[in-house]
Amino acid sequence: MGYIWTRVETDQVISKIPCNISCIVITPDSSSNDADVTFYEGESSNDPMVFTLRSGAGVSGQWVFPVPLYMRRGFYVDIGKNVTEVLIQWETCKS
C-alpha cells in the first residue's frame, strides 16, 4: 500500500495496526483561536500519548517528518480546541 491522506474532524482511530505517519496539517477554526490536537499510539486516548501539536491563531500548522513516525500499536487522533480539521498522510506497514 502507499501513503494516503485522511481528513479528521472528530476524535478517531486512524489505524488499528502498525503504520507510518509522514505529514500532519492542523487548521484552526478562526483567525483568533489557537488549535491543538493530541496523538496517541494505539486505539484510544487511554493508550500512550505521542505528542500534542498546536497551530497559531488563523495559521494552519504543517509538520512533515523526514523519516516517517512508526506507530507500532496503531494511531489515534484526539481533536482538541478550536480545530476545523486535521489532515494526516499515513500508510499501513507491511506485515
pLDDT tens track for 17-54:
999 999 999 999 988 889 999 999 999 999 999 999 99
- Pick the closest to residue 24 from 54, 50, 52, 62 (CA basis): 62
Sketch the domain layout of the chain as residue ranges.
4-92
pLDDT band at 69 (very low <50, low <70, confident <90, very high): very high
Superfamily of domain 4-92: Nucleoplasmin core domain (2.60.120.340)
What pLDDT, on a 0 to 100 scale, did the predictor assign at position 1?
Answer: 63
Q: Is 42 left (phi over 0), alpha (psi -120 to 50) or beta?
A: left
